[in-house]
Amino acid sequence: MMKNKRVELVKGDITSLEVDAIVNAANSSLLGGGGVDGAIHKAAGPELYKECEGLKGCATGEAKITRGYGLKAKHVIHTVGPVWYGGYRDEHVTLASCYQASLSIAKKNKIKTIAFPGISTGVYGFPKDLAALIAVNESNRFLKKNAYPEKVIFVAYDDESYETYRKLLDQ
């Protein structure tokens, strides 16, 4: 039972969601990779790769927007999360920046619904519980001050992640 009507939690595949934008946990080239990034590129098709080539990459902690092409989502917001080095390189600050940058792009583009995966929690090794806490806190902070996006959806790929988010959102 979640208190915030503007925040939702779903378990499943982010590439199958019918939303205004999904967030891609991208690498700095924006040209696809493993995990969520590879799945989004595969589902969107070759046009996404072509558009991303023109963006000339993205710095860690920043975000860029493209069309969704073959996805049900109209747009993809690509953000580059930090690699986890034990917390000694301000990774938490950089991850918070990923959420703020993605949400700012959503606001600027009047995106009503945005879905986030667990940024940096795959091969980049960010602890899932800490990443979820940052995701929820940054999203709530942004939503308090802004009309857009109207809804933030956290997408958990597995039971463990789902439970982590559910506990945070129930507080």
Average pLDDT rounded to a whole number, residues 45-54: 98
Catalytic residue among 13, 37, 90, 170: 37
Please report which confidence band the pLDDT of residue 3 belongs to, taking 50, 70 and 90 as the band edges. Answer: low
Is residue 14 domain-resident?
yes
> How many Å apart are CA 164 and CA 152, to the nearest integer?
16
DSSP state of 14: G
pLDDT of residue 171: 85
Span 59-111, pLDDT tens digits: 999 999 999 999 999 999 999 999 999 999 999 999 999 999 999 999 999 99
Is residue 66 domain-resident?
yes
> How many Å apart are CA 82 and CA 60, to the nearest integer?
6
Whether residue 4 is predicted with pLDDT greater than 70 in this model: the reply is no
Is residue 2 domain-resident?
no
Is residue 1 domain-resident?
no
Give the percent of the chain with pLDDT over 90. Answer: 96
Whether residue 2 is predicted with pLDDT greater than 90 in this model: the reply is no
Q: In sequence order, what DSSP letters do the residues of 69-112 get, joined into one string?
A: TTSSSSEEEEEEPPPPSTTTT-HHHHHHHHHHHHHHHHHHTT-S
Span 147-158, pLDDT tens digits: 999 999 999 999
Is residue 49 domain-resident?
yes
90 is catalytic: no
pTM of the model: 0.96
> Which residues neighbour 116 within 8 Å (Cβ) at sequence distance 6 or greater?
23, 99, 102, 135, 139, 152, 153, 154, 155
The residue type at 125: G
Is residue 125 domain-resident?
yes
Whether residue 13 is predicted with pLDDT greater than 60 in this model: the reply is yes
Whichever domain contains 30, its CATH number is 3.40.220.10
pLDDT of residue 1: 44
pLDDT of residue 162: 97
Is residue 26 domain-resident?
yes
Kindly report the number of other CB atoms within 10 A of residue 70's CB atom: 15
Q: How many domains does the chain have?
A: 1
